[in-house]
Amino acid sequence: VNKRRPYHHGDLRQALLTASVDLIRELGRSEFTLREVARRAGVSHAAPYRHFRDKSDLLAAVAEEGFERLTASIRIAADRGRQPFERLQNAGVAYVDFALKQPEHFSVMFSVDLRQDHASARVAAERCFAELVTLVAACRDERPGNGETTLTSARIAWSQVHGVAELALRGQLPFSSKKELRRFAILATETIGRGLGLNDRAPRS
Amino acid sequence: VNKRRPYHHGDLRQALLTASVDLIRELGRSEFTLREVARRAGVSHAAPYRHFRDKSDLLAAVAEEGFERLTASIRIAADRGRQPFERLQNAGVAYVDFALKQPEHFSVMFSVDLRQDHASARVAAERCFAELVTLVAACRDERPGNGETTLTSARIAWSQVHGVAELALRGQLPFSSKKELRRFAILATETIGRGLGLNDRAPRS
DNA sequence: TGTACATCAGTGAACGCGCGTTCACTGATGTAC
DNA sequence: TGTACATCAGTGAACGCGCGTTCACTGATGTAC
């Protein structure tokens, strides 16, 4: 603990977010307490109330930050691909990657009830999904697809990668290394792309 | 509260499980407390310790019960189908149905860390997955599949329905009625079946 | 059928604890003149 | 450049609370003889 820290912290808000993520990583969502977060940020337990209305407001901010990072990860991954489906698939794999690399963010993103009160977190989530829709739409510009609307196709694809991410996080998929899991994610996205008629590569049959 | 209840409860263990599920439904996982469960079962707060080692032991029992019910639901749904893929698809839709009808069980099933200590819950989870594998295997007996092993295909299919269930539970899928969601689940399972080459119906393309 | 006794399944008081939140406060910072 | 003052971002004590768990106990039940 740095004793020379001045009375005013500088960027306590961000420090609290970072500390929250660390805390959740170490102890899990259910052990998350405001007082411990404050302790870790080297600040009195009342200080967070300068920056967040209450505990759930802080968690909503963590979720919002998480969605922003996820959106960025997806975008970067997609941009590494050339063909539309390759771009979509990269995004899907990035989604799973994100869940495993930042499980603490991921679990908060989908556990806080964003629909009430915390509008900015909800907006961040919607922006993230919009990214996925764009990638699906690009695939369908090239191929006719299989009859589902773009939106429906996107939701099905999202469900697929979300399921892989969730099960992997809960240890329900028997992969010991991230590499193995990544390979599985590639298989799963390929499969769903084939099912949706979005995959521009030849089916393997 | 029935005041004529005798000193010995009769089946306090089951009553505690039921009360736990009710409590989680009403207040959510994070508000779950042993004392409130005991209160609802009409019993002193120390009584549960006659039946469960501690709080997490009770939750593990809830999870175990949940997996048993899910297995039963899947089996019954599958048996309503004739063709192998129809049976698999029914099971997948039943999985999503279960998550929405018993969200309290579902959330506990995948939140308790089953891998340590609570072996019987883990076994129940494995039995449930085995059911799915059997259904996938039956599809592959009739068709060659697309090159993935049965186990891998089953995991991909499981991820799909699990993702649908999770997103629906979190309110991330914009379906207002169970009927709409059910239709979506049917689409999603059809899609993944097509992708896996398990679907014995003609592709819609 | 009766009785002694072990065992089982509850009770209720007590423990120590940390939590979220509020409050009056104070030190630091920024700004108007 | 200096000063008065408003505002901001912290502090630390205090609040009321319910939690999980333990403990010595007691009432009910089952069984051996």
CA angle A91, A95, A101 (to 5 degrees): 130
Name the pLDDT band for B10 (thresholds 50, 70, 90).
confident
pLDDT of residue A160: 98
Q: Do A147 and B194 touch (CB under 8 A)?
A: no
Distance, in Å, from the CA atom of A166 to the CA atom of B6, rounded to the nearest integer, reads 45
Q: Which of B148, B156, B163 sits opposite A166 (nearest CB)?
A: B163
What is the pLDDT of chain B when averaged over all its residues?
91
Residues 90-149 of A with CB under 7 A from strand C: none
Q: Shortest CA distance to B105 belongs to which of B74, B162, B60?
A: B60
Query: How is residue B24 written in tokens?
Result: 């989680």
Distance, in Å, from the CA atom of B135 to the CA atom of A188, rounded to the nearest integer, reads 19
C1' of C12 to CA of B48 (Å): 14
pLDDT of residue A4: 39
Identify whether the C-beta of residue A112 lies closer than 8 Å to the C-beta of residue A59: yes
Cβ A35 to strand C below 7 Å: yes
- Report long-range pairs for A173-180 (Cβ below 8 Å, ≥24 apart): A173/B155, A173/B159, A178/A97, A178/A100
Characterise B147 by phi-psi region: left (phi > 0), alpha (psi -120 to 50), beta (else): left
Q: Choose, out of B115, B182, B191, the residue to mutate when testing the contact with A (most A CBs < 10 Å).
A: B191
Residues 6+ apart with CB under 8 A from B90: B77, B78, B80, B81
Q: Do A192 and B195 touch (CB under 8 A)?
A: yes
Q: Do B192 and A193 touch (CB under 8 A)?
A: no
Share of chain B above pLDDT 70, in %: 92
In angstroms, the separation between the Cα of residue A129 and the nearest Cα of chain B is 10
Identify whether the C-beta of residue A109 lies closer than 8 Å to the C-beta of residue A95: no
Distance, in Å, from the CA atom of A25 to the CA atom of A66, rounded to the nearest integer, reads 14
Distance, in Å, from the CA atom of B131 to the CA atom of B91, rounded to the nearest integer, reads 9
C1' of C4 to CA of A185 (Å): 69
DSSP alpha helix (H) spans, B79-177:
84-101, 103-109, 119-142, 150-169
pLDDT digits (tens, 9 = 90+) for A84-129: 999 999 999 999 999 999 999 999 999 877 777 889 999 999 999 9
Q: How many CB atoms lie within 10 A of CB B71?
A: 19
Residue for token digits 């169970």? B178
Q: Shortest CA distance to B122 belongs to which of A79, A174, A110?
A: A174
Q: Shortest CA distance to A85 belongs to which of A4, A205, A192?
A: A192
Cα diameter, chain A = 66
Nucleotide with C1' nearest the B43 CA: C10
- pTM for the model stands at 0.92
Q: Shortest CA distance to B92 belongs to which of B168, B205, B190?
A: B190
**Chain A partners of B189 at a C-beta cutoff of 8 Å?**
none
Residues of chain A with pLDDT under 70: 1-7, 144-146, 201-205
Distance, in Å, from the CA atom of B22 to the CA atom of B176, rounded to the nearest integer, reads 23
Distance, in Å, from the CA atom of A76 to the CA atom of B65, rounded to the nearest integer, reads 43
B136 touching chain A per CB within 8 A: no
pLDDT of residue A201: 58
Provide the 3-class DSSP secondary structure of residue A148: coil
pLDDT of residue A145: 64
Name the pLDDT band for B114 (thresholds 50, 70, 90).
confident
**Chain A partners of B111 at a C-beta cutoff of 8 Å?**
170
pLDDT of residue B204: 47
Q: Do B191 and A156 touch (CB under 8 A)?
A: yes
Residues 6+ apart with CB under 8 A from A76: A94
Identify whether the C-beta of residue A195 lies closer than 8 Å to the C-beta of residue B191: yes
Average pLDDT rounded to a whole number, residues B137-163: 90
Average pLDDT rounded to a whole number, residues B41-58: 95
Distance, in Å, from the CA atom of A193 to the CA atom of A18, rounded to the nearest integer, reads 36
Residues 6+ apart with CB under 8 A from B192: A160, A191, A192, A195, B92, B156, B157, B160
CB-contacted nucleotides of strand C (7 Å): 9-14, 18-24, 27-29
Cβ A4 to strand D below 7 Å: no
Q: What is the DSSP string of A48-71?
A: GGGT-SSHHHHHHHHHHHHHHHHH
Q: Which of B29, B148, B188 sits opposite A156 (nearest CB)?
A: B188
Q: Which helix (H) or strand (E) holds A187?
A: helix A178-196
pLDDT of residue A1: 28
pLDDT digits (tens, 9 = 90+) for B61-91: 999 999 999 999 999 999 999 999 999 999 9
Radius of gyration of chain A (CA): 19
